[in-house]
A and B are shown apart, each in its own frame.
Chain A
Amino acid sequence: NAGVTQTPKFQVLKTGQSMTLQCAQDMNHEYMSWYRQDPGMGLRLIHYSVGAGITDQGEVPNGYNVSRSTTEDFPLRLLSAAPSQTSVYFCASSQTQGAKDTQYFGPGTRLTVL
C-alpha cells in the first residue's frame, strides 16, 4: 500500500493563478480531509469528505474548492491564489469520520504564492 499520496511536493504560483493539489489513498478509506499548516497555528481543516460525492467545509474553506468523485481521490482546487494561501497543505484519510479514527497523512505540498 502506498497509503496517502500527494502531488506536487512543491509549487510556486503567482497571485491570481489557479491550480489543483492532488491527493489519493489506496486504503479504501471513506473519510478524507485537507489541512493547511502555518507556523504557530497548527493544522487547520479546510474541507472534508465522508464519502464519494459528499463534501463539506471545515474551519478555513474560503478560496478553496474540493470534489470527491471516487473513494480514492480528493483534489483541492485553489481558484485564484493569494499570498495568504502560502502554506503547507496536508491531505489525510481515515476509515471513518475523523474524530475517533486514526488519521493517515500524506507527505504534504509546500505552496508559495508570490
Chain B
Amino acid sequence: GQQVMQIPQYQHVQEGEDFTTYCNSSTTLSNIQWYKQRPGGHPVFLIQLVKSGEVKKQKRLTFQFGEAKKNSSLHITATQTTDVGTYFCACPTGANNLFFGTGTRLTVIP
C-alpha cells in the first residue's frame, strides 16, 4: 500500500536555528498535505501541495513538492518556541484516504 517515510524522527534545535523535515515516497503522489500537532493536541492542517516543483510559504514556513512528486519538505526559518510539536506529512492511498507519515517531533530549546 501507499506509504511515505518521514525523517528525521526527532529534531532538537536552539531557538533561532532552522529546521527541516523530509517526506519521501517510492511512488508518484498526486498531492501531499502537511499537519502540525502540538504536544497533547490534535493534528491541524497546514498546507496542501499539488503541482510538481511547487513551493509555498507561510511566514517562516516553506513547503516544497519535488519535481518528480515523490518527495516533499517543510523548512522552518529561525525557529521559535511556538514551533514546538510534531509535523506530519500525509499522502493519498489507493482508496482515496490519507496515509500519515510517522512524523518529526521538533523540540526548540530557548
- Name A residues whose Cβ lies closer than 8 Å to a Cβ of B: 33, 35, 40-45, 48, 56, 58-59, 90, 92, 97-100, 102-108
Q: Is the CB of B97 within 8 A of A42?
A: no
Q: Is the CB of A42 within 8 A of B100?
A: yes
Q: Is the CB of A33 within 8 A of B48?
A: no
Please judge, given known A-B contacts A33-B97, A43-B43, A104-B45, whether A99 and B30 are in contact too, CB under 8 Å. yes
Residue tally, chain B, CB below 8 Å to A: 28
Is residue B103 within 8 Å, beta carbon to beta carbon, of the partner chain? Answer: yes
Q: Is the CB of B42 within 8 A of A100?
A: no
Contacts of A105 in B (CB 8 A): 42-44
Main secondary structure of the interface of A (DSSP, over half): mixed
Contacts of A97 in B (CB 8 A): 96-97
24 A-B pairs, CB-CB below 8 angstroms? A33-B97, A35-B100, A40-B9, A40-B102, A42-B88, A42-B101, A42-B103, A43-B43, A59-B1, A59-B99, A90-B42, A98-B92, A99-B92, A99-B93, A99-B96, A100-B30, A100-B48, A102-B33, A102-B48, A103-B43, A103-B45, A104-B45, A107-B42, A108-B42
The complex places the Cα of A33 from the Cα of B90 at a distance, in Å, of: 14
Please give the distance in Å from B63's CB to the nearest CB on chain A.
15
Please judge, given known A-B contacts A33-B97, A98-B96, A99-B31, whether A42 and B102 are in contact too, CB under 8 Å. yes
Is residue B98 within 8 Å, beta carbon to beta carbon, of the partner chain? Answer: yes
The complex places the Cα of A58 from the Cα of B31 at a distance, in Å, of: 20
